[in-house]
């Protein structure tokens, strides 16, 4: 236990120093200064051992051109520690097997001088490469990326003889990023098969001819994305959890058992207190070995629950245990994966982005933004795993007041027909209408529902009339998409009281649907009185918006809120089930 205390002390000091460094950097900002000024004032110059080389033209050795706060901390990590077998790591540069041999020869032809050694910014460029290998490996990239990282971690990286290793890793990163750029929107959000991405690289001779030391750094920066405060926060947390993983002698699982609440005594309480202290260094407990749930532990537990989307009741149940037992390395993977999602999302942001709606599916949350400022949030209900809400980007073009619900064929077959076989009156009770495919109404009493199968073709279209009990409620928010999904109101508001809200068949139910309708209609020039008259009339009415509002169905299982607080959510659609090569 003494070893654990010493480890915790060292970890706490390390994280505290890093946190203070970031805080000091942020504090340097004036009230109207851009975030980028953090790096101009907080970064330090790190030069190579070879000080005799002149600086690169156009890349002066000034703080604003150096890497950001915390970049250098990576060199203190020996991670991944099990990515390669010992036999796969070579200790002599001449034994390294070059992967991109032809491209390496071309680069040497055009650039006989070293790209990775012998000039003031070379060490920072190598550090940047190392960071990108770490982030992409943790995010689930191909095993070759973590192999390169392990090899780099095993060598004296100040030795110029390792030029070919760094060039190979750089070309591999370029190949991976080229493949990422081919992903569509849904693939960019899911990231569920990037482990098998082939590292095939397409570059032309003019690019090789113009490659320079300065371009090398810029290429890495473009692969990395903007180095802003949010990325630094992600990196801080990635490093924190990798260090926690290394500090632990073994992964002790907190067993399930009776619910634990204030004043409960249990052998698991010291382990719970330890995990809470790892999660937030602000959680300092007078006695880690106390086996009673005291007020400090319950208070820390409530904060922990809130950050994981759980009911903050201070009671340890199965959902809380899930997150207390979540492996530190898997938190690092989650953070890296979501950092990559955020970077890829930028490619799909629409030009009409003054106002936009973000629906974060695993968070069960919708956010309405106006020029990056939050206007309001709402709870939402999303699709269950078997009928997942599709990840897409579109634009809301109309608000439908008193909508019909055109029942999807899947719901008709799987949900409604079995009920109709038991009770044919269900059609009239739920105010459904039936039509043949010529558009003619079909009375439900003419159909023998006992003969209708819930598989194969169903010969009718079914819709539900507007009004009480309509599944869409009073509003539907229409946006074009191939999946026939939309945002809408609901006749089952009780589901919003649940913490986990994956209940729908794909569409997104919005708790604040009335407020969303008010906001969109007001922008389009419609009055509240106009809306109320339409609702009272009871007839369906499509109200077009003068300016479409972009809507993004995103998939972030971790994110920072406006105050810098970090949140985690379950991967409800199991997109990350294929672990990367850093899986523990």
pLDDT (0 to 100) of residue 79? 55
Average pLDDT, integer, range 197-205: 90
Q: Taking all residues of the chain, what is their mean pLDDT, rounded to a whole number?
A: 83
Give 87's pLDDT tier (boundaries 50, 70, 90).
Answer: low
pLDDT (0 to 100) of residue 48? 35
Give 71's pLDDT tier (boundaries 50, 70, 90).
Answer: very low
Residue with tokens 């950097």: 25
Q: Which residue has the higher pLDDT, 439 or 522?
A: 522
Q: Which residues are catalytic?
A: 488, 507
Give, in degrees to the nearest 5, the angle at Cα 187 between 182 and 189. 120
Average pLDDT, integer, range 328-333: 94
pLDDT (0 to 100) of residue 234? 92
Q: Which residue has the higher pLDDT, 449 or 477?
A: 477
Residue 345's alpha-carbon distances to 100, 338, 339, 392, 563, in angstroms, are 30, 10, 10, 11, 22
Average pLDDT, integer, range 218-237: 88
Average pLDDT, integer, range 77-91: 63
User: Which of 49-53, 275-279, 326-330, 500-504 shows the lowest per-residue confidence on average (mean pLDDT)?
Assistant: 49-53
Most confident option among 43-47, 102-106, 223-227:
102-106
Check whether 17 has a pLDDT greater than 90: no
pLDDT (0 to 100) of residue 32? 31
Whole-number Å distance between alpha carbons of 477 and 399: 5
Radius of gyration of the chain (CA): 28
CB count in 10 Å sphere of residue 518: 16
CB distance 28 to 41 below 8 Å: yes
Whole-number Å distance between alpha carbons of 401 and 477: 9
Whole-number Å distance between alpha carbons of 550 and 354: 9
Query: pLDDT digits over 463-477, tens only?
Result: 999 988 899 999 999
Give 118's pLDDT tier (boundaries 50, 70, 90).
Answer: very high
Whole-number Å distance between alpha carbons of 50 and 158: 10
Average pLDDT, integer, range 208-225: 88
Whole-number Å distance between alpha carbons of 172 and 100: 8
pLDDT (0 to 100) of residue 353? 67
DSSP letters spanning 453-479? -SSS--SSEEEE-SSTT-TTTTEEEEE
Check whether 86 has a pLDDT greater than 80: no
Helix axes 2-27, 229-247, angle to 10 degrees: 170
Q: Which residue has the higher pLDDT, 251 or 152?
A: 152
| φ, ψ at 265 (rounded to 5°) | -110, 130
Whole-number Å distance between alpha carbons of 58 and 61: 10
User: Which of 290-304, 403-417, 550-564 shows the lowest per-residue confidence on average (mean pLDDT)?
Assistant: 403-417
Give 10's pLDDT tier (boundaries 50, 70, 90).
Answer: very low
Give 60's pLDDT tier (boundaries 50, 70, 90).
Answer: very low
Residues written for the chain? 584
- Grouping H, G, I as helix, E, B as strand and the rest as coil, residue 396 is strand
């Amino acid at each position: 236990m003494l070893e654990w205390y010493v480890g915790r002390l060292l970890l706490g000091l390390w994280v505290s120093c890093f946190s203070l460094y970031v805080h000091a950097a942020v504090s340097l900002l004036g009230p109207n200064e851009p975030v980028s000024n953090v790096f101009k004032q907080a970064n330090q110059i790190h030069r190579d051992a070879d000080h005799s080389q002149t600086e690169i033209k156009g890349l002066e050795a000034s703080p604003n051109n150096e890497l950001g706060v915390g970049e250098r901390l990576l060199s203190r990590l020996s991670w991944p520690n099990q990515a390669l077998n010992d036999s796969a790591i070579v200790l002599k540069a001449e034994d390294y097997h070059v992967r991109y041999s032809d491209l390496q020869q071309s680069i040497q032809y055009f650039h006989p001088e070293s790209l990775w050694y012998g000039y003031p910014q070379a060490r920072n460029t190598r550090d940047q490469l190392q960071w990108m290998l770490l982030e992409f490996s943790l995010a689930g990239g191909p095993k070759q990326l973590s192999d390169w990282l392990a090899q780099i971690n095993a060598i004296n990286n100040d030795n110029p003889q390792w030029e070919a290793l760094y060039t190979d890793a750089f070309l591999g990163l370029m190949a991976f990023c080229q493949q990422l750029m081919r992903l569509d929107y849904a693939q960019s959000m899911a990231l569920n098969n990037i482990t098998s991405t082939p590292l095939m690289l397409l570059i032309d001779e003019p690019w090789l001819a113009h490659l320079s030391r300065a371009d090398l750094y810029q290429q890495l920066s473009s692969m990395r994305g903007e180095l802003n405060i949010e990325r630094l926060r992600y990196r801080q947390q990635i490093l924190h959890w990798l260090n926690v993983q290394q500090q632990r002698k073994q992964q002790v699982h907190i067993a399930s058992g009776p619910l634990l609440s204030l004043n409960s005594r249990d052998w698991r309480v010291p382990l719970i207190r330890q995990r809470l202290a790892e999660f937030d260094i602000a959680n300092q407990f007078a006695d880690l070995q106390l086996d009673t749930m005291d007020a400090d532990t319950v208070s820390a537990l409530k904060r922990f629950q809130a950050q994981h989307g759980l009911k903050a009741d201070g009671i340890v149940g199965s959902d809380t245990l899930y997150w207390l037992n979540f492996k530190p390395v898997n938190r690092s993977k989650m953070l890296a994966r979501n950092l990559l999602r955020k970077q890829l999302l930028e490619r799909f942001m629409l030009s009409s982005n003054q106002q936009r709606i973000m629906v974060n599916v695993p968070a069960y949350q919708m956010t309405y933004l106006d020029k990056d400022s939050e206007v309001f949030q709402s709870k939402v209900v999303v699709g269950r795993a078997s009928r997942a809400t599709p990840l897409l980007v579109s634009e809301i073009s109309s608000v439908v007041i008193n909508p019909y619900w055109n029942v999807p064929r899947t719901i008709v077959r799987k949900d409604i027909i079995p009920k109709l076989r038991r009770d044919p009156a269900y059609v009239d009770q739920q105010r459904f209408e039936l039509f043949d495919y010529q558009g003619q109404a079909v009375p439900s009493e003419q159909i023998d529902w006992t003969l209708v199968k819930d598989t194969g073709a169903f010969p009718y279209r079914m819709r539900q009339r507007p009004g009480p009990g309509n599944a869409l409620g009073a509003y539907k928010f229409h946006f074009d998409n191939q999946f026939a999904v939309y945002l809408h109101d609901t006749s089952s508001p009780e589901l919003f009281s649940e913490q986990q809200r994956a209940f729908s068949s794909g569409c997104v139910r919005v708790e604040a649907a009335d407020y969303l309708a008010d906001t969109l209609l007001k922008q389009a020039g419609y009055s509240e009185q106009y809306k109320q008259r339409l609702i009272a009339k009871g007839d369906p009415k499509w109200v077009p918006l003068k300016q479409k509002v972009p809507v993004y169905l995103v998939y972030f299982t971790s994110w920072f809120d406006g105050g810098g607080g970090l949140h985690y959510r379950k991967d409800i659609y199991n997109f990350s089930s294929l672990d990367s090569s850093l899986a523990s």
